[in-house]
Amino acid sequence: MASRRVRGEEGHPPPAFVLILANTGLSLIPGLSGAGKDPEDTWKTPIRDAAYILEGGYPPLCPTPASVTRSCLRLCGISPLFVNAGLGTVPYFPCVTIGSLPGRDPRTFPAVPDAHTLYRRGRTLGKFLSRCTDTLYVGECVPGGTTTALCVLRALGYPARSGSAFPTSPGLLKEEIWAGVRSRLGDEMPAVPLAIVHETGDPMMAAACGLAAGFEGRVVLAGGTQMSAVAALMKAAGADPLPAIATTGWVRDDPDSTFAALATALGVRAFYAEPDIGPGAGRSCICTVKEGMGAGGAIVLAGEERFTDAEIADAIRAEIEQEPAPSKRLYLLNDHMI
């Protein structure tokens, strides 16, 4: 279904929906990330979810926020733009590549050695997109990214906690990781935002900060704790005003997350989307994972494109309740079939 926006009446084109993909070595720590069947599988999740949003066809055993994003973008007639900020595998689909190094474990190494390059290239992309539209949504897929977000927020001085794709957040493990990062850095904890990303963050954060800085129109950060870390970095860099953040009500209500309090502390406007998709396994899976691939932002975007709450909910239900279809193709990633 096409968007209900009438370009001639409103004087501007449809928004751009950018999804930044990256990996971090933290997702390989057992028990930290639920974005895959095992730690090694999390390395494939960004490409797998991006392929699903673009093409459908692979049978998700459990619907995820990517199901929400796919259904809402299709409803609006908007195609996402994927940005590779540091994937561990090369994407086969159309994708703007601005980085090639996955994030490293910040307990042992500086996490994002190319943070300044990612920021600069992201800013260039933002300037280019300014020629195409006046509204930019920025989402992400970074397994393990809620933990890098926690590390960045703590380094910035915020007493943050973050949720997880697991039913119960591995809070103690996250605290142990932050303690390891703090121990490595000691008295040399950086104060400059990009230096903090360099030491403790992930590639998505540097790219998102640059993208938002370069874009000349309205920016909406589509995500939960990870996008609050981006907003906190932008605030530390002196950005004013800060972009709004659009996420799901499930993030807001997560007892393991301090997202709502953090949004207030940052002074950002937060939109919370929680469509009435009814009971069932699909709702249970999505509510457990809570956010990812810009799901909350995609729902908010559909509302801004003049679709009703009922139409949005129906589109999501239709996506998550369909019979799993066989994959259209088989793709080899580093000699592993997905």
**Confidence grade of residue 167 (pLDDT, cut at 50, 70, 90):** low
Domain ranges of the chain: 13-322
Instruction: Please give the pLDDT value at position 58.
Output: 56
Instruction: Please give the pLDDT value at position 53.
Output: 94
Mean pLDDT value of segment 168-194? 91
Instruction: Please give the pLDDT value at position 328.
Output: 40
User: Can you give the pTM of this predicted structure?
Assistant: 0.90
Of 26-35, 96-105, 189-198, 212-221, the poorest mean pLDDT is in 26-35
Q: Output b/e per residue, 281-292; b: 16+ Cβ within 10 A.
A: ebbebbbbbbbb
DSSP-derived 3-state class of residue 139: strand
Phi, psi of 293 (to 5 degrees): 55, 30
- Which residue in 9, 87, 13, 15 sits closest to 48, CA to CA? 87
Instruction: Please give the pLDDT value at position 331.
Output: 35
Question: What does the pLDDT look like over 47-71, one tens digit per residue?
Answer: 999 999 998 865 455 667 898 999 9
Report which secondary-structure segment, H or E, holds 289.
helix 281-289
Torsion region of 82: left, alpha or beta (phi above 0 gives left; psi -120 to 50 gives alpha): beta
Q: Under CATH, which architecture does the 13-322 domain have? A: 3-Layer(aba) Sandwich (3.40)
**338 pLDDT above the threshold of 70:** no
**192 pLDDT above the threshold of 90:** yes
- Across the beta sheet with 81-86, the strand order is 96-97, 81-86, 16-22, 135-141, 218-222, 244-248, 270-273
Instruction: Please give the pLDDT value at position 54.
Output: 93
